[in-house]
Amino acid sequence: MPGKIWFVGAGPGDPDLITVKGRKLLEASGAVLFAGSLVDQAATLFAPDGCDIRDSKDMTLDEMTAWLIERAQRHETVVRLQTGDPGLYGALIEMTQPLTAAGIEWAVVPGVSSAMASMAAAGETLTLPEVTQTVILTRVAGRTPMPPGEDLESLAAHKTTLCIYLSITLLHKVQDALRAAGWADDAPILVVQKASWPGQEKIIRGTLADIKQKCQAEKVGSQAMIVASPTLGAADWPDLIRSKLYDPAFTHRFRKASPASAVTTEINP
Ligand code: SAH
């Protein structure tokens, strides 16, 4: 019986941000294939002595698949360690299809994605009552084209939170798309490089007009998340609309409202 291959989300960089399940699998693994310099620290920290550890950065997809299949013949637990969450820009299905074809069991362990880590680093929120209740995770077209209907300009027209991956070298395209969608030049934009990496994280706050210059000045040209959101800077707003969840007049499954209450819901508002 071959072993099982686990696609584990390593989180955004800080080894402490891997899930407990992911860490336990690493500790039990006979072989680990990790995705480049983004996750090596977690791999070497938690993998046991004698574990067969390989960096995939110089490998093609076919070579990676062959490596995983071969290791699964010898080890009960094999880990493919990916940055952030494996299901976001992680070539997951391209890797799992040949495993299924080869009769090898696999499963996915989710991870903290860099969008969440970037907002956490900056003390910002992805959603805010009556400001935006929607988050779009996207990118601009690089070598990978965007499918029809998903160009940034049309997504930005919703004026929700946009977390833009893989696009820091295309910041001018992001600026053009947001302007074309009607975002003001003074709209706040956040860029976080190496979110959660101990000692290496950079947080750049700017506006649609000046974010590119600020990133250039700080030499931020890779491994960075771009966030455009009407929630940015809310920590300093004096007139914040508060969440109904904690409103004394709001009843939900776990708390009765004060007698004056008029609002009820069964699940989180
Ligand atoms: N699966 C990963 C994304 C891989 S695509 C995830 O869920 O986060 C690689 C892109 O993710 C980079 O171009 C960058 O936009 C973003 N990214 C990855 N790690 C990051 C980090 N620590 N800080 C900021 N952005 C990061």
Residues 43 and 69 in one domain: yes
Residues 57 and 101 in one domain: yes
C-alpha 166 to ligand 1 mean position (Å): 7
What CATH number is associated with residue 168? 3.30.950.10
Q: What is the pLDDT of residue 259?
A: 61
- Name the domain count of the chain: 2
Residue 111: pLDDT band with limits 50, 70, 90: very high
Domain-embedded: residue 191 = yes
The reply to whether ligand 1 has any atom less than 6 angstroms from the CB of 85 is yes
Domain-embedded: residue 195 = yes
The reply to whether ligand 1 has any atom less than 6 angstroms from the CB of 165 is yes
Domain-embedded: residue 258 = no
Domain-embedded: residue 179 = yes
Last residue of a domain, one of 70, 86, 109: 109
Q: Hey, CA dihedral for 207, 213, 217, 219, is it positive or negative?
A: positive
The reply to whether ligand 1 has any atom less than 6 angstroms from the CB of 194 is yes
- Give the domain range for residue 35: 4-109
CA dihedral 83, 88, 91, 96 (to 10 degrees): 90
Instruction: Tell me the whole-structure pTM to 2 decimals.
Output: 0.92
The reply to whether ligand 1 has any atom less than 6 angstroms from the CB of 10 is no
Which residue's structure tokens are 């600026």?
Answer: 175
224-228 and 31-34 as β-strands: parallel, antiparallel, unpaired?
unpaired
Number of CB atoms found within 10 A of residue 88's CB = 20
Residue 40: pLDDT band with limits 50, 70, 90: confident
Residues 37 and 142 in one domain: no
